[in-house]
Amino acid sequence: MEIQKTALYDYHKSLGAKFVPFAGYEMPVQYSSGIVDEHKITRNGAGMFDVSHMGQLLIEGNESLATELEKIIPIDLKKIQLNQSKYSFLTNEEGGIYDDLILTKVEKGFNIILNAACKNNDFKIISSSLKNKFKITLHKNLSLIALQGPKSSQILEKIINGISSLKFMNGNKFYYKGKDVYITRSGYTGEDGFEISITNEFVEDLAKELISHGVKPIGLGARDTLRLEAGLCLYGHDINESTSPIEANLKWAISKRRREEGGFVGYKKIKSDLNGSLNRLRVGIKPDGKIIAREGVKIFSEDGKEIGSITSGTFGPSVNGPIAMGYVKLNFSKPGTKVSLEVRGKKHEAKVSKLPFYKKNYVR
């Protein structure tokens, strides 16, 4: 399949982007100032991410749609409020994860943001589960911009009136140049911020206006260091079709009623994980020294037994040191547990760490 480009491709190029292929798209990995600088700009100012490669799915329907969707997504869709967003996932029969997602209740039904690499498969899964009873649209005419960082709100308010009153994990319809845009206060960096869904036709105008207000463009490289410092999972690495949400330490994302009642695909495994058969857990791992442990690095106990492996690892610019996440056997998952990491044939000391590595307060 031919590699795709987002509507902002030429604009990224003019901003000095270096591109990499990602999930079938030619995406900016960084701009001229580099990943560490872009990371710090997002932590201290405001950064703009083009995440238009991600899937924007609209499913139209009312209560009967909520009932059907609850069979494949473990959110309490009876309790969700209009314009409220929730993090969740599509589970499979074995209790693994097909994709993680953000669902927002909108007037017409539900908006779902999906990972780029998974979106076409997700569409098939959701369509077949809903058996053509509801209208499903995977938008091709919409772009998605994430504006992230402590200065996001004051800057965006100058361009789009009223956004500063949004609460974290809530959205609403706003106007930009007289056109509808849907904005949620959310993101994937551990910072306050917004995700703006806007037509391809107007996205460059908005991007240029953000840049003219001092926002800097940020690539996928810094997106990865930011999300890892924030302890957030990257699909295909930290979670996949063989990790259950309970193993992935995402129990919080399944509401109490759904944990108790089930009624969704893969509940059998999830229930047994909840009831004591859990044997591994996703944890943070902090190397004692400077060594960077990347995906696939084996984790050992103090007495030399293999107890798991790393699923993501990098250098955290705000932590100013190496950070990682991985799965360990349950009895080694307590923060502070000493472990060792085998990198290039040598063992390096590390400790299980609380997540996130870096924490800020969201606007609630």
In the complex, the residues that contact other proteins under the rule CB under 8 A are 29-30, 34-37, 39, 221-222, 224-225, 290-292, 294, 314-315, 317, 322, 344
Rounded to the nearest whole angstrom, what is the least distance from the CB of residue 18 to other proteins in the complex? 9
CB atoms within 10 A of CB 37: 16
Rounded to the nearest whole angstrom, what is the least distance from the CB of residue 292 to other proteins in the complex? 5
- Spatial distance between the Cα atoms of 242 and 62, rounded to a whole number of angstroms: 32
Rounded to the nearest whole angstrom, what is the least distance from the CB of residue 225 to other proteins in the complex? 6
In the complex with other proteins, which residue's Cβ is closer, 139 or 237?
A: 237
N-to-C CA span, the chain = 43
Cross-strand pairs, 173 = 182
Query: What residues have CB less than 8 Å from 314, skipping those under 6 apart?
Result: 224, 225, 228, 292, 294, 322, 323, 324
In the complex with other proteins, which residue's Cβ is closer, 187 or 316?
A: 316
In the complex with other proteins, which residue's Cβ is closer, 13 or 208?
A: 13
Rounded to the nearest whole angstrom, what is the least distance from the CB of residue 34 to other proteins in the complex? 5
> Is residue 312 within 8 Å of residue 295, measured between CB atoms?
yes
Rounded to the nearest whole angstrom, what is the least distance from the CB of residue 170 to other proteins in the complex? 32
- Spatial distance between the Cα atoms of 8 and 87, rounded to a whole number of angstroms: 27
User: 3-class SS at 137?
Assistant: strand
Rounded to the nearest whole angstrom, what is the least distance from the CB of residue 318 to other proteins in the complex? 12
> Is residue 83 within 8 Å of residue 106, measured between CB atoms?
yes
In the complex with other proteins, which residue's Cβ is closer, 117 or 292?
A: 292
Query: What residues have CB less than 8 Å from 34, skipping those under 6 apart?
Result: none
In the complex with other proteins, which residue's Cβ is closer, 37 or 288?
A: 37
> Is residue 194 within 8 Å of residue 159, measured between CB atoms?
no
In the complex with other proteins, which residue's Cβ is closer, 284 or 322?
A: 322
